[in-house]
A and B are shown apart, each in its own frame.
Chain A
Amino acid sequence: MSPGLYIAQQIINGVSLGSLYALVAIGLSLVFGILRMTNFAHGDMMMVGAFAALTIGAAGVPFEWSLLGGIAIGALTGVIVERVAYRPVRGAADVTLLLTSLAVTYILENLGILLFTSSPHDFPIPEWLDSSYEFSDGQITFTQVNVLTVVLTGISLSLLGWFVTRTDMGLGMRAAAEDMQAANLVGLDVNKLIVIAFALASGFAGLAGVLWAAQAGVVEPSMGFTPLLKAFVAAIIGGFGSIAGALLGGYLLGALEVFIVAFLPSELSPYRDALVFSLLIAFLLFRPNGLLRTSREVKL
């Protein structure tokens, strides 16, 4: 295989993986930006979205609609969690917020076990999605799911970009992320902004969950954990709390993981996750504000 084609193939893999990380990381950053909260339960919205899509699909609903259902139920779950668990502890110590979200993770994952058992379920995808493209005699291949992932991520991120730069609500969300009290003083309804932030973040996670399941072919209650941790890494690489940073971090991380597997000695491949988290720790130590974040320092 020619090196050029090999690299092209890896770039395709990296973009596809990076899209998923970016989708999840942006949600983490939205919530962290506005609430200063490290939301460990964010990954579980992927699981909720995927199981919702699975259940809706099992009822004979076409994939397009079950995908939308996964997004909607992911978003709804996020909003409910905010209302029931996070709002009562809002303003408490960092650790209290973090532990509350850890408890929510525990509850949601065990709810998943209660409803679906802890073993993986097959995630069927429709025929039109179950195909792949081949170029240069099969030296470059990618699946329809890859294409769908990149396209839907592009659409979602464009909508988000429009929202946070062109609408009062989106500007307000950025304003509240910067200075909650000043946002209050100009008359922004901060509760409403927080609900919208959770709906958006969790909807994105729901979408990522369905796409993740479509790629992996299976769903299970613990499926959100690894992507969540990866999203943390992505968000911190880019600058925690920054939307553009999460986007950048997501794609960088996707590229990096593909690079580790494709170009480093194969003995290192199984240690990919360990390497990624070493990178996280390195960033926390040497560049806690990430690559993009400039306007506000992270307190250490």
Chain B
Amino acid sequence: MSNPPSAGPPLLAIEDLRVDYGAVRAVHGVSLHVAAGEVVALLGANGAGKSTILRTISGLLRPRAGQVQLDGAPIHRLAPARIVRLGIAHSPEGRRVFGNLTVAENLRLGATSRTDRDKVPADRERMYNLFPILRERMHQVAGTLSGGEQQMLALARALMAGPRLLLLDEPSLGIAPLIVRSIFATLGELKRQGTTMLLVEQNINVALGLADRAYVLRTGEVSLTGTAAELRDNYERVAEAYLGARQ
């Protein structure tokens, strides 16, 4: 496990996080960190607690115990809108674009939290260049887009917040393989430009292709962690960590 190179605290640090969903313990005792410029993948089967962690980071859920820190300052008691303003944007599972609004209006709302309004037009232009199809569909109501296009819009909407950390929840879910490849190519481009990401994925191959490091979760706990390269060379252990075949 690589430690952040600089002496300061990592961009995002989670310590001993415990989250309940009603009576169900979804996450118990997860610690992880993401350094600036890094892409970290959270892998695991359905119900392992991946989405719960992202939703807790964004403030949609309150942890029962543990901490979420951004730049060393705790954020786990803040409201979601406040957390977005601090620089964490979340592209949620299932895309969740605003189907009654147009593509342009969705992007506009993505930037609603920004204080540097003068940079918004340039960022919008950047989004349309990253996803040219969105420019074509600019005035179309988002509900009429295809699944892949909606995923691109969800990504672009999150990026319009100008985030320091991008949370991605299953961007490949329910999307044709060809489009998945194209979306991950774009994510790779974003990574080269220095965007920090925490990526939740069930598709191990594409996730490890993009990420620097990964954590594997099983039933709410970290069961394996390492660099993407290490895990790529050791699928057997990943599968084991996924399903708990032998332990």
Residues of A within 8 A of B (CB): 168, 171-172, 174-175, 178-179, 181-190, 295
Known: A168-B109, A186-B157. A174 touches B84 (CB 8 A): no
Min CB distance B116 to A, Å, is 14
Q: Does B52 contact A (CB under 8 A)?
A: no
Min CB distance B143 to A, Å, is 6
Cα-based distance from A175 to B99 in the complex (angstroms): 9
Which one, B84, B108, B143, contacts A187 given CB within 8 A? B84
Q: Does B140 contact A (CB under 8 A)?
A: no
Min CB distance A292 to B, Å, is 12
Min CB distance A151 to B, Å, is 29
Min CB distance B106 to A, Å, is 8
Known: A174-B98, A174-B101, A182-B96. A188 touches B60 (CB 8 A): no
- Quick one: which of A168, A179, A184, A190 has the most chain B CB within 10 A? A184
Min CB distance A202 to B, Å, is 24
Known: A184-B60, A186-B161. A172 touches B109 (CB 8 A): yes
Q: Does B112 contact A (CB under 8 A)?
A: yes
Please name all residues of chain A whose beta carbon is closer than 8 Å to the beta carbon of B100 when the two chains form the complex: 174, 178, 295
Contacts A/B (CB < 8 Å), 22 sampled:
A172-B112, A175-B98, A175-B101, A178-B98, A178-B101, A179-B96, A182-B96, A182-B97, A184-B58, A184-B80, A184-B81, A185-B58, A185-B90, A185-B92, A185-B96, A185-B158, A186-B109, A186-B110, A187-B81, A187-B112, A190-B81, A295-B100
Instruction: Please report the number of residue pairs spanning A and B whose Cβ atoms sit closer than 8 angstroms.
Output: 70
Beta-carbon contacts under 8 Å, B37-72 to A: 58-60
Please name all residues of chain B whose beta carbon is closer than 8 Å to the beta carbon of A175 when the two chains form the complex: 98, 101, 109
Q: Across the interface, do A295 and B143 meet the contact criterion of CB distance under 8 Å?
A: yes
Known: A171-B108, A179-B96, A181-B92. A186 touches B101 (CB 8 A): no
Please name all residues of chain B whose beta carbon is closer than 8 Å to the beta carbon of A187 when the two chains form the complex: 80-81, 84-85, 112-113, 161
Min CB distance A185 to B, Å, is 5
Min CB distance A225 to B, Å, is 32
Q: Does B105 contact A (CB under 8 A)?
A: yes
Please name all residues of chain B whose beta carbon is closer than 8 Å to the beta carbon of A188 when the two chains form the complex: 81, 109, 112-113
Please name all residues of chain B whose beta carbon is closer than 8 Å to the beta carbon of A178 when the two chains form the complex: 98-101
